[in-house]
Amino acid sequence: MTKIDTGLLLIAGLTASLILPGCLNNASQTEVPVVEEVSKPVSTTSWSMSRGGPNLSGKIPEPVPESMEIVWTYTEGKYISAEAVITERHVFVGTEYGVFICFDRLSGVVQWTFKSEDAITAAPAVSGNFVFIPSNDGNLYALNVETGEELWEFSADDKISAAPIVTTNPNGGEEWVLVNGYDGITRCLSSMDGSTLWSYETEDFINGAPAVVDRKWVVFGGCDAQLHVVNLADGNLVHKIPNDSQIVNSIATYKHMAFSGNYANQVVGFDVELGMIAWVYEDRNLPFFSSPAVSDKLLFIGSRDKHLHAINQETGEAAWKFPTGARVESSPIVFNDAVVAGSSDGRLYALNLDTGEEIWRFDLGEGLLASPAYGFGTLIISGEDGTVFALRETAASAVQ
């Protein structure tokens, strides 16, 4: 662990306005009443683990920012694919060269770094004084949030390329950490010391994070082309639901349903409670590598066909799709009124939930394969050239 106070490549104050210009008519002599400016409530939504929480929904219970600006960047010069995590004070990002970075959320100043022995390609998870870091060196590291001091580590039999998930212990007491490994094993660990509480073994690699459904099931897909449903309390199998191909990314869940893309160029809706496939969506002969995000009615997923697809959760029928300039492998996030997605064309898009109509776009100038994260009014996304971008709502749109 290396303590860093200053000396960063920090670019603050860059702005990219998305606000339509307005005009004043100086010829008019009519007195205009003064309208008192009212600031929007300060966001208190956190993004403490992958996809925003244990259900992996990718949902933020707030309206989308009307426009955004870059408030800081950090450039390391090498591709970053990992999703960030955001707390009130910090931003945490892992890198392809194995360095894990803790930033000050507001300023972008690096607070500390930690070096693992291989790439970090998935989001960490934060709870209390702990930050849990997966690494392709096969270890899950537990560090002190404030200092980066290592508290414990757990070693798997192969790389850990899936994000860990922190969940409440159904029996009360300490929190549990759920982690999937490339060795095909799902493990439930004590958050305090990393000891194994239970494990469940599949027949192939697992790349995606485990989701918690109804506080009683752990649900995930794997390269064995199955959706696995196991008891949270003891790791015992409840259902194995086969589908047509490998599930290579994290799923999303809503109530008793789970959703994922697969290598057969399908999006599949699974009924977790009944242990069966509810529907299959197919569009073109190109795969869905993104993880889905869900609203109350729709799910949203990116495709290598360069589109973001919106699909009816109940029926699996297409609602709309939006074209971008390149592949959409970054996983979208959902606000109350919009979905935000990154594309390999280097742009962030905000789209109306119901119609797919474009609300705004923001060109970051680097292909976006990492998924966006949003917490405490800050959106973090990393580009393929190694830049970490921090965006917040522009000052003008934050005041109504």
Assess if residue 287 is contained within a domain. Answer: yes
DSSP annotation string for 270-330: EETTTTEEEEEEE-SSS---SPPEE-SSEEEEE-TTSEEEEEETTT--EEEEEE-SS---S
Which pair of tokens denotes residue 108?
């972008």
| Nearest-angstrom CA–CA distance, 49 and 345 | 26
Q: What is the mean pLDDT of residues 218-230?
A: 97
Q: What value does the mean pLDDT take over residues 259-275?
A: 96
| Amino acid making up residue 172 | G
In a domain, residue 31? The reply is no
Q: CATH number for the domain including 263?
A: 2.130.10.10
Bridge partners, residue 361, by sequence: 349
Q: Mean of the pLDDT values across residues 213-231?
A: 97
Look at residue 340 and tell me whether its pLDDT is greater than 80. Answer: yes
171 falls within a domain: yes
Q: Which of 12, 93, 65 is nearest to 370 (CA)?
A: 93
Return the pLDDT at 40: 61
DSSP letter at 93 equals E
The token pair at 362 is: 């923001």
| Domain with 272 in it | 2-17+42-393
- Mean pLDDT calculated for residue range 181-193: 97
- Between residues 356 and 8, which one has the greater pLDDT? 356
* Residue 25 falls inside a structural domain: no
Q: Specify the pLDDT at position 397.
A: 60
- pLDDT tens digit sequence for 188-197: 999 999 999 9
pLDDT of 79 = 85
Q: What whole-number distance in Å separates Cα of residue 135 and Cα of residue 107?
A: 27
Residue 132 and residue 181 in contact, taking contact as beta carbons nearer than 8 Å: no
**Mean pLDDT, rounded, for 71-81:** 90
User: What is the Cα–Cα distance from 269 to 106, expressed in whole angstroms?
Assistant: 39
Total domains in the fold of the chain: 1
What confidence score (pLDDT) does residue 18 get? Answer: 34
Domain membership flag for residue 27: no
Q: What is the pLDDT of residue 39?
A: 55
pTM score of the predicted model: 0.88
Q: Is the pLDDT of residue 15 over 60?
A: no
Give the pLDDT of residue 26.
Answer: 34
Question: pLDDT tens for residues 353-373?
Answer: 999 999 999 999 999 999 999
- Rounded to an integer, the average pLDDT of 267-281 is 98
Give percent of the chain with pLDDT exceeding 90. 84
pLDDT, tens only, 86-139:
999 999 999 999 999 999 999 999 999 999 999 999 999 999 999 999 999 999
pLDDT band at 171 (very low <50, low <70, confident <90, very high): confident
Pick from 381, 305, 304: which is nearest to 340 by CA? Answer: 381
Q: Is residue 340 part of a domain?
A: yes
Assess whether pLDDT exceeds 70 at residue 391: yes
**399 inside domain:** no
Q: Is residue 22 part of a domain?
A: no
At 50, is the secondary structure helix, strand, or coil?
helix
Distance CA(66)–CA(359), nearest Å, equals 8
d(CA 96, CA 117): 11
